[in-house]
Amino acid sequence: MTKNTLYLLLTAFTFLISACEDPIELDLGAPVSQVVIDAVIDQTADTQWIYVSKSSAYLNNNKANSYELDTIGIVDTSNFTFYQFTSQNNGKYFFVPPAANTFKYGQTYQLLIRDKGNTFVSQSQLNSPTTVDSLTVKYEKNGPFGGNEGNYITLWAKDKIGLGDFYWFKLYRNDSLQSRASDIRIAVDNSTSQGGSGDGNLFIIPIRQNFSSRPYKAGETARIEILSINPEMYIYLNLIQVQLQNVGLFAVPPTNVPTNIICINNPNQKVLGFFSMVGKVSSEEITIR
Amino acid sequence: MKLRLIFTCFVFFISNIVFSQTKYSLSGYVKDTANGEVLANCNIYTEDKKNGTQSNNYGFYTISLNPGINTIYFSFLGYNTYELTIDIKKNETRNIELSRSETEITGITVNKKRRDNQVDKIEMSTNNLNITQIKKIPALLGEVDIVKSVQLLPGVSTVGEGATGFNVRGGAIDQNLILLDEAPVFNSSHLFGFFSVFNPDAVKDVKLIKGGMPAQYGGRASSTLDVRMKEGNNKKFAVNGGVGLIFSRLSLEGPLFKNNEKRKNKTSFIVAGRRSYIDVLAKPFLRNNENLKDAVFYFYDFTGKINHTINDNNKIFFSTYIGRDAFGVPGAKFDWGNSTATFRWNHLFSRKLFSNFTFYYSKYDYQLGFGTGNNTFNWKSNIINYSGKTDFTYYHSPKSVIQFGLISTYYIFKPGDAVSKDQGSTIQFGLPNKYALENGFYIENEQKFSPSLTVRYGIRFSNFNYLGNGTALILDRPNPSQRANVIERKEFGKNEIIQSYNIPEPRFSANYKLNKLSSVKLSYNRLSQFLHLISNTAASVPLDVWTPSTNNVKPQIADQIAVGYFKNIGKNIDYELSAEVFYKELQNQIDYIDGAELLLNNQLEADLLNGKGRAYGLELYFKKNVGKLTGWVSYTLSKSERRVEGISLDQWYPNRFDRRHNANVTGSYEFNNKWSASASFVFGTGTPTNLPNTKFSFQGITGIPHNADGLRNSVYIKPFHRLDISATYVHKKTNKWESNWVFGVYNVYNRRNPFSYFSQPNPDVNNQTQLIRYSIIGNFIPSVSWNFKF
């Protein structure tokens, strides 16, 4: 919605007077680098990953530094089983579940980190995934919102029955995640706002339509994962998207995207990032003709 | 407290009644001789200058005189002073017509006694601009702009060029009450903020009140911009028009029933319209552009007014305004606009009691739509109000003028009515309407205690009721910086009071004349505001929604104190100088949690935070009124901050529109009858903004901005300055026909003034981030327009 509005406003505006955008250098001080935890764990039998890094200065375009913690893992809060993740010594930690559904729907899990005498925790409930029917390809002469001519993906899937289901749609092109801000697509029930009347229905337009900010070419493959997330994760992704697209005349004051990971022994110890358990379902991969 | 104040007022009134002596009154209307337009704020005074008054907003005056021969002067800036000698034996009525200074008529005028009024007037923190002055100021694309002219006054700033509205003394844009013939206008801009919605051909004058607010005005926390429309020429039929790069304008005005001796000079009208035509011009060029060939892009406004004098004691007016902006590209459309209608009746109960009854309707609405055929999304929002009010002016004695009145306004808010059609099936997202009733009562006395001391004191009672149908949300906010939890919803029936507020607002101004040419003024006022524009963008957008005070959203309250020194220089008051300092405290300022959802959110109140604000500053103003070179210099030093629990580590932080230094110079020079030129230069230090200083990645999404300090608005944008010039060539001027060409250049030295800075992922290089300086206008903009009148 925000994206559509912004597009329309900008089109109208640039029509008359072309505003100018010039890259600038600005002294933003010497900010403190913080540890970033990226932990999204699903119920499948796939290898599960947690990525740990350090935040970098905003105008530093080198690759972010990785960071090694003392221990990291997740705890099943029903029986206190600890699933420790193994370090690859490059900030990447992995865990291979013995089987699918080792992590159970409806169960709450706790992220547990110990590092330099500090303990960080976070909690997340694993929600069951929805089901997916299929992907179709549509050739659009005018891409969405000024996009190029080409193939765009439509997702045919329905919201779970019951109100308050939150989703994140991850689009893959040739097995690579499309991760531009404009590729972030999320939903509440089958639409974009809570309390809609379309519970259990197909995801509405524009959610189900025009996946990808640039069109697909013949021969490329497409696949969409639907993650059942919790409301906190929805807000988190929404904020990230807003912050990354917060440009131009109608920009809102940039705000920090708040983490859900806290230090229990020292509230002044801050980390960035997010922990979420997700119920994942994936579409069949299709090849564009 | 309240009772004591009322009692004090009462005692003042009584004491005046007891000590009044027998006098006669002279009353009537002051008008422009050329077109019959009434002149408001005309100075009327006796030869010894001991007795004086001003015409009111409707041009009506009344002055008490001793029996015998009296000489009275009628003086108005830009007009020849009129001298009336009259033998007063009974109450008299005289309608006075003043002629413009450039068309001097000998015999009845006395230029040497021209007297300005800033030193004598009680009002402070107030600027009057008439349309002749406004038309001289160089304007973007040659389009005369009332709001842009107001921005050149001291104490007024904007967040940047192209931004909607204006900020007065550190207040937000929704804190300005913008009145067009007494009806509030909720969005003063066309094309976001590039042009104001007021057609200069239909406007007579503009008054900006920043402090010492008279009790008759209320409902906004910072200022009142009172825009008065012309009444229409009641002497002869006249046509005004112009062709510019953006708009074409045409206005017609004139008397009705001119040939009927009985009804002659009683009724006049004006209709004025403007429309942009860039869409028409651009059409051929866009034929081959798939995205834009069916684009819709225009804005227009229409202003109309008719007035009729029934007799000496009764006069009625009807005025209306309709304006609209529309944009659309295939699959998407967007339009918005204001409409107002005002009916007024001026009635003289007696020579001493003038009354005005006003009924108005005002609406601001927008709609937004996406999609085609079976798959669409449409969204509408509006604010409507119906209002009735009465204002009385009681000319009690030469030393006391009492004003009192009542106002009642009923509001309907439609915060968002969204309908989505998906494969033909319809889904409603609408938010319920909200309703409110606002009432006000005021009484105020302007008292001359001595020839040098005048005091105006009064009070306004504001009452606001948030009404049903509606749902009151009971909130609990465990963490001040985060979304509140809704712990209860209470349903209310139609017209049931959900929440009510009563706020007494004392108003006080004093003028102490040090000598004939200088005075010191002091004022205090409290203002309350029950309507709030929900917006957290740097520049307001047409999509922003007005919302009433509720059980959670408290009324904004501003207390302001101002002190000023006013001086006239030169024997004909060639120059005016003023210096003012002000201090303002604001309660219940609205702010937003991080990531607030402001649109289509049925729990909006859970995302709003409540804080306090303060602003203070110094304003200097120097104006040259006469001669070939006229114009003014203004300078403002000010600071505007707020403190909101949960934001910026709970510390005071600068408002987005905080500007430390702001200086403007504007002037025009008349070379001869053919040529004149104008220039204006504006300078302002930068406004503060938020920028991230670090970034991180999450799930493959790179460049997520983060500010490790947690402070809001901590980086100041670089200063802003711009020079605009224009030249006017009078092509032809006869008694019947006049035309001129206006050539202008906006942003003469081609400066890219920063409007904002923002951070973004580099669109050309993956996984890199950059900072962008955003300039609304990136080059100089020449313009030419042609104006005519006959």
pLDDT at A222 over 90: yes
| Fold of domain B2-113 | Immunoglobulin-like (2.60.40)
pLDDT tens-digit series, residues A162-187? 888 999 999 999 999 998 888 899 99
Region B265-278: mean pLDDT is 89
Interface contact B773, partner A, CB < 8 A: yes
Chain A interface test: which of B698, B714, B716 (most A C-beta within 10 Å): B698
d(CA B790, CA B787): 11
pLDDT tens per residue, range B370-394: 877 777 888 899 999 999 999 999 9
Over residues B417-433, the mean pLDDT reads 80
pLDDT band per the 50, 70, 90 thresholds, residue B514: very high
Q: Are A274 and A239 a contacting pair, CB within 8 Å?
A: no
Phi, psi angles (nearest 5°) of residue A234 = -60, -45
- The whole-number pLDDT of residue A103 equals 94
Closest residue on chain A to B691 (Cα): A254
Chain A closest CA to B193's CA: distance in Å? 10
Please tell me the distance from the alpha carbon of residue B733 to that of residue B719, in angstroms, as a whole number.
Answer: 43
Going by pLDDT thresholds of 50, 70 and 90, the confidence category of residue B690 is confident
* pLDDT > 90 fraction of chain B, expressed in percent and rounded: 52
Token pair belonging to B444: 């105020």
Is the pLDDT score of B594 beyond 90?
A: no
What is the C-alpha to C-alpha distance for residues A167 and A190, in angstroms, rounded to an integer?
A: 9
Nearest CA distance, A47 vs chain B (angstrom):
15
Q: Does B590 touch chain A (CB under 8 A)?
A: no
Residue B113 confidence (pLDDT): 40
User: What are φ and ψ of residue B606, in 5° steps?
Assistant: -70, -15
Across the interface, do B290 and A9 touch by the CB < 8 Å criterion? no
- Residue B525, SS3? strand
CATH class, B126-789 region: mainly beta
Give the pLDDT of residue B542: 79
Which of A63, A156, A249 to probe the B interface (max B CBs under 10 A)?
A: A249
DSSP B59-108: SEEEEEE-SEEEEEEEE-TTBPPEEEEEEESS-EE--EEE-BTTS--TTS
* Partner-chain contact A28 B693, CB within 8 Å: yes
Residue B621 neighbours by CB under 8 Å, 6+ apart: B127, B153, B154, B576, B577, B578, B579, B632, B633, B634, B635
Q: How far apart, in whole angstroms, are the C-alpha atoms of residue B27 and residue B10?
A: 26
- C-alpha distances out from residue B142 to B204, B231, B364, Å: 19, 25, 27
pLDDT tens digits along B394-408: 988 888 999 999 999
The answer to whether residue B489 neighbours chain A at the CB level (below 8 Å) is no
State how far the Cα of B609 lies from the Cα of B479, in Å rounded to an integer: 11
User: What pLDDT score was predicted for residue A195?
Assistant: 60
Question: B residues 670-699 near A, CB within 8 Å?
Answer: 689-699
Q: How many CA atoms lie within 13 A of A179 on its CB side?
A: 14
Contact flag A22-B773 (C-beta cutoff 8 Å): yes
Q: Is the pLDDT of residue B106 over 70?
A: no
Task: Read off the pTM.
Answer: 0.85
CA atoms of B591 and B656, how far apart (whole Å): 12
Beta bridge partners of A45: none
Instruction: List, in order, residues 6 or more apart from B617 with CB less than 8 Å away.
Output: B155, B169, B170, B581, B582, B636, B637, B638, B639
Give the pLDDT mean for B250-277.
87
Residue A31 DSSP code: P
Alpha-carbon dihedral angle through residues B727, B733, B736, B738, given to the nearest 10 degrees: -10
Q: What are phi and psi of B159, to 5 degrees?
A: -75, -20
How high is the pLDDT of residue B265?
78
Are B52 and B72 within 8 A, CB to CB? Answer: no
Range name among A9-18, A210-219, B325-334, B507-516 with the lowest pLDDT average: A9-18
Helix (H, G, I), strand (E, B) or coil at A53: strand
- Asked if residue B186 has pLDDT above 70, the reply is yes
Facing A20 at nearest CB: one of B290, B429, B752: B752
Measure CB to CB from residue A179 to each of B377, B701, B706 and give the nearest one.
B701
Residue B13's H or E segment, with its range, is helix B2-19
Cα B175 from Cα B556, distance rounded (Å): 9
User: Across all residues in chain A, what is the average pLDDT?
Assistant: 87
Tokens 């009142």 correspond to B224
- Collect all residues of chain B within an 8 Å Cβ-Cβ radius of residue A240: 698, 701, 704
Residue B725 has pLDDT above 80, yes or no: yes
B residues 504..563 contacting A (CB < 8 A): 536-539, 541, 543
State yes or no: pLDDT of B456 exceeds 50: yes
Q: Residue length, chain A? A: 289
Beta-carbon-side half-sphere exposure of residue B493 (alpha carbons within 13 Å): 0
- Which pLDDT score is estimated for B272? 95
Mean pLDDT over residues B150-155, rounded? 93
Rounded distance between C-alpha atoms, residue B137 and residue B150, angstroms: 11
pLDDT for residue A1: 41
Nearby residues of B381 by Cβ (< 8 Å), 6 or more positions away: B365, B366, B367, B414, B415, B416, B417, B543, B545
Which residue in this structure is represented by tokens 């992590």? Answer: A103
Least confident of A38-47, A193-202, B551-560: A193-202
SS3 B268: strand
Q: Give chain B's mean pLDDT.
A: 87
Q: How far is A133 from chain B (nearest CA, A)?
A: 18
CA distance A1 to B336: 18
Structure tokens at B171: 């207040």
Two structure tokens written together for B23: 């006098």
Of residues B62 and A196, more confidence is placed in B62
Instruction: Inform me whether the pLDDT recorded for A246 exceeds 90.
Output: no
Residue A5: what pLDDT? 52
Q: Token pair for residue A63?
A: 């690759």
Query: Does the domain spanning A128-250+279-287 belong to CATH 2.60.40?
Result: yes
Chain B residues with beta carbon closer than 8 angstroms to that of A248: 758, 774
pLDDT digits (tens, 9 = 90+) for A90-112: 999 999 999 999 999 999 999 99
Q: Give the mean pLDDT of B40-53.
A: 83
In B58-97, the residues whose Cβ lies within 8 Å of chain A are: none
Query: Does the structure show a pLDDT above 70 at B285?
Result: no
**Mean pLDDT computed over B223-249:** 89
Instruction: Report residue B449's pLDDT band, with 50, 70 and 90 as the boundaries.
Output: very high
Residue B215's nearest CA partner among B5, B516, B4 is B5
- B474-512 pLDDT tens trace: 999 998 888 899 999 999 999 999 999 999 999 999 999
Does residue A12 have a pLDDT over 60?
Answer: no
Say whether A24 and B773 touch across the interface (CB within 8 A). yes
Tell me if the bond preceding B184 is cis, omega within 30° of 0: no
For residue B524, give both structure tokens.
């205090």
3-class secondary structure, A241 = helix
Question: What are the φ and ψ backbone dihedral angles of B472, each rounded to 5 degrees?
Answer: -90, 130
Residue B161 pLDDT more than 60?
yes
Give the DSSP H/E element, type plus range, for residue B4. helix B2-19
pLDDT at B18: 42
Interface test with B, best of A56, A142, A205, A276 (most B CBs within 10 A): A205
Amino acid (1-letter code) at residue B206: V
Q: Is A208 left (phi over 0), alpha (psi -120 to 50) or beta?
A: alpha
Of A20, A240, A253, the CB nearest to B704: A240
Instruction: State the average pLDDT over residues B38-50.
Output: 84
What's the token pair of residue A206? 């524009």
**For residues A267 and B496, which has the higher predicted lDDT (pLDDT)?**
B496
pLDDT 10s digits, B530-554 = 999 998 877 777 788 899 999 999 9
How many angstroms away from the CA of B218 is the closest CA of chain A?
30
Q: What whole-number percentage of chain B has pLDDT above 70?
A: 93
First to last CA, chain A: 31
Select the residue from A21, A67, A145 to test the B interface by mutation, using most B Cβ atoms within 10 A. Answer: A21
Nearest to B291 among A8, A146, A257 (CB): A146
Which of B672, B606, B728, B718 has its CA nearest to residue B132?
B728
Mean pLDDT confidence for B20-40: 83
Residue B207 pLDDT greater than 70, yes or no: yes
* CA pair distance B617, B659, nearest whole angstrom: 10
CA-nearest residue to B774 within chain A is A21
- CB-nearest to A197 from B427, B538, B708 is B427
Min distance B603 CA to chain A CA atoms (Å): 10
Query: How far off is chain B from A277, nearest CA to CA, in Å?
Result: 13
Handedness of CA B210, B211, B214, B218 (dihedral sign): positive
Q: What is the pLDDT of residues B77-103, one digit of tens each?
A: 778 889 999 898 888 888 899 988 764
What's the pLDDT score for residue B3?
46
Indicate which of A15, A142, A176 best probes the interface with B, i.e. most B CBs within 10 Å of its own CB: A15
Find out whether B337 and B302 touch, Cβ atoms under 8 Å: no
The residues spanned by each domain of chain A are 35-98+107-127+252-277, 128-250+279-287
Q: For residue range B115-143, list pLDDT tens digits in order.
A: 557 888 889 999 988 888 888 888 888 88
Asked if the Cβ–Cβ distance from B706 to A235 is below 8 Å, we say: no
Whether the CB of B739 is below 8 Å from some CB of chain A: the reply is no
Asked if A55 lies within 8 A of B708 by C-beta distance, the reply is yes
Using DSSP's 3-state secondary structure scheme, residue A255 falls into: coil
Q: Establish if B289 touches chain A: CB-CB under 8 angstroms.
A: no
> Bigger pLDDT: B20 or B686?
B686
Q: What are the boundaries of each domain within chain B?
A: 2-113, 126-789
CB B26 within 8 A of CB B65: yes
In the prediction, which pLDDT does B4 show? 54
- pLDDT category at A219 given cuts 50, 70, 90 is very high
Token pair for B536: 């957290």
Q: Answer whether B375 sits within 8 Å of A56, measured CB to CB.
A: no
